[in-house]
Chain A
Amino acid sequence: MSQYNMGYHLKEGFHSIFTHGLMSFAAVCMIVACLIIMGSFSLVAVSLDNTLGDLEAQNEFTAYVEEGMDEAGARALESQILQIPNVASATFVNGQQALEDYRERYVDSENAVLFEDLPEDLLQHRFRIRVVDIEQLAQTVEAVEAVDGISDTQAALDVARGFVTVRNVAGAVAWILILLLLIISLFIIANTIKLATFHRREEIAIMKMCGATNWFVRWPFIFEGMILGFLGAVVAFFLQWGIYSLMVTAITEYGGLQLIAIVPFQTLAPQVAVIFVAAGLLIGAGGSLLAIRKFLQV
């Protein structure tokens, strides 16, 4: 590109937005709609992933210390447990505390009487162990069982496997849907820009007959697409913010969905802004390139 032409192409791109105002408006609306659909779905996927992550983090198993081992000896096992790969934390609970926990759990129940007058050393000392990666829970449980002084473990392996399956399936579905939406968005935007470009085919043909290279013709369209994409991204960002806030309010007010851990928009705002602007620029420029391809064959 000639040193004198960059400014010209940019000016032409800007100028064209206003001279074809209605089509520019339609293209921005399409970009906004596509980004909001993709953005909303992605944010739901992020919140779902976050919820699953929280549930995963709460998943723990219990390792029981051999009967008869004193508290000091039992506590000494903690360092060995912490050395096992994938162990995130190990919380020691002595027998008395474990019994207290049981009593508290059933204090309001009609079975509370069953826990009265029990000997204080009835329950074994134990460790509540959390893991880093729930997928490796079975191996971690095995390794903990192999520690001298640990008699038994209790782990909800089926629940863990269920979480892993749900997370993997949700992740895969989210990626497939986001990819599909991206392709559909590109297709819709390319067609909208093609419609906008259609009545300029004569202008393109004139330029080509005067000796314009394909890139000379393309640049103003690329700049125009990028400007429209950027505008679309900015509008979509603020609309997305509003929609997400409304959604959070609705979920918060509806008690049945308290289980879902919604990530506040402010936390995700920088990432959303960057992704929206990048996607807007990309689909704007890409859509323009796709749209004018046919008209360059003069």
Chain B
Amino acid sequence: MIRLIEVKKTYDNGTRALKGISLRIEDGEFVFLVGPSGSGKSTILKLITGEVLCSEGRLMVNGYNLNNIRPRQIPYLRRTLGVIFQDFRLIEKKTVVENLTFVMRLVGASPREIRKRVAYVLQLVGLDHKGDRLPSELSGGEQQRVAIARALVNNPQVIVADEPTGNLDPQRSLEIMMLLEKINELGTTVLVVTHEKELVNRFAKRVVAIESGRIISDGTGGYYNNESV
């Protein structure tokens, strides 16, 4: 579960990215976080992953209180999350399988567990036949599938995706979103940051709209049709 209560964030350069955000995402939900550039979407993700700390308010993620989290606890918080980026951020010198196995090694998984789980998630994302390829040998859509597999491999409670379709064509974007929906149906909470209206409207999911550091709407389906967002 993710819970933000009156969260404010002011960066060292004086930029007020969040001006009092309250948001509650329950286990198993699928939520779109939408808004224009500079609205504070990425700051919310950075707060959730522990990259930055909030200036005011309270923030709880998967049982971790991020108001007084110690630096050495942050890796353990991140293991409860699966993060997907717009630019995939795969390790270029590792094969698809190696990009997944190192994440399982972080949690001390045995080689047997790793083999079993990696095969499962690769099958889930439809890349079970491309395990020995390097990221550079894959298309953009396939690379994003690897990133999703990597986010999934440690069976996280929440998947956080930052513009996961930003670098993909409409067809590949739809496939990726459908894959995230499938993962959500299997029980994982999914939070997707995006500004692609058509894609959001195609899925009848909860949409949280944010602008100038404040939530301006929060509801299920169709909210992104509002031209003010």
Whether the Cβ atoms of B105 and A8 lie closer than 8 Å is yes
Say whether B108 faces chain A, with CB atoms less than 8 Å apart: yes
Residues of B near A19 (CB, < 8 A) are 93
Q: A19-B93, A210-B103, A298-B51 are in contact. List 16 more A-B contacts (CB 8 A).
A: A3-B108, A4-B108, A4-B109, A5-B108, A206-B89, A206-B90, A206-B91, A208-B75, A209-B78, A209-B89, A210-B83, A210-B150, A211-B107, A211-B154, A212-B75, A213-B106
> Which of A202, A205, A209 lies at the interface centre, i.e. has the most chain B CB atoms within 10 A of its CB?
A209
State whether the Cβ of B70 lies closer than 8 Å to any Cβ in chain A: no
Q: Are B91 and A211 in contact (CB under 8 A)?
A: no
Counting from the closest, the 10 A-B pairs by CB-CB distance are: A2-B108, A211-B79, A211-B78, A213-B75, A210-B103, A211-B75, A206-B89, A212-B106, A203-B91, A211-B106
Contacts of B49 in A (CB 8 A): 209
On B, residues with C-beta under 8 Å from A are 49, 51, 72, 75-79, 81, 83, 89-91, 93, 102-103, 105-111, 150, 154
Q: What are 27 residue pairs bridging A and B, where the CB atoms are less than 8 Å apart in the complex?
A: A2-B108, A4-B109, A4-B110, A5-B105, A5-B108, A203-B91, A203-B93, A205-B89, A206-B89, A207-B102, A209-B83, A210-B78, A210-B79, A210-B102, A210-B103, A210-B106, A210-B150, A211-B76, A211-B77, A211-B79, A211-B107, A211-B154, A212-B75, A213-B72, A214-B75, A216-B105, A298-B51
Interface size class, chain A: 20 to 34
Q: Which residue of B lies closest to A213 (CB)?
A: B75
Give A7's nearest chain B residue, CB to CB: B111
Residue ranges of A at the interface with B (Cβ–Cβ < 8 Å)? 2-5, 8, 19, 202-203, 205-214, 216, 298
Q: How far is it, in angstroms, between the C-alpha of A207 and the C-alpha of B94 when the chains are bound? A: 12
Most A C-beta atoms less than 10 A away, residue of B72, B79, B105, B109: B105
Point out the residues of chain B lying under 8 angstroms from A211, CB to CB. 75-79, 81, 103, 106-107, 154
B149 to chain A, nearest CB (A): 12
Closest to B72 in A: A213
A2, B103: Cα distance in complex, Å: 13
Chain B residues contacting A213 (CB-CB under 8 Å) are: 72, 75, 106
How distant is the Cα of A58 from the Cα of B44 in the complex, in angstroms? 81
A3 vs chain B, min Cβ distance (A): 8
The interface residues of chain A lying within 8 Å CB-to-CB of B83 are 209-210
**Complex Cα–Cα for A208 and B89 (A):** 12
CA A5 to CA B110, docked complex, whole Å: 9
> Contact at B106–A216, with CB atoms within 8 Å?
yes
CA distance A209 to B72 in the complex (A): 13
Closest chain B CB from A293 CB (angstroms): 14
Please, how many angstroms separate the alpha-carbon atoms of A19 and B91 in the complex?
Answer: 13
Residue of B nearest to A19 (CB): B93
Query: Which residues on the B side are within 8 Å of A212 (C-beta)?
Result: 75, 106
Chain A positions within 8 Å of B109 at CB level: 4
Chain A min CB distance to B102 (Å) = 7
Q: How far is the CA of A208 from the CA of B49 in the complex (A)?
A: 10
Chain B residues near A210 (CB, 8 Å)? 78-79, 83, 102-103, 106, 150
In the docked arrangement, what's the CA distance between A206 and B82, Å? Answer: 12
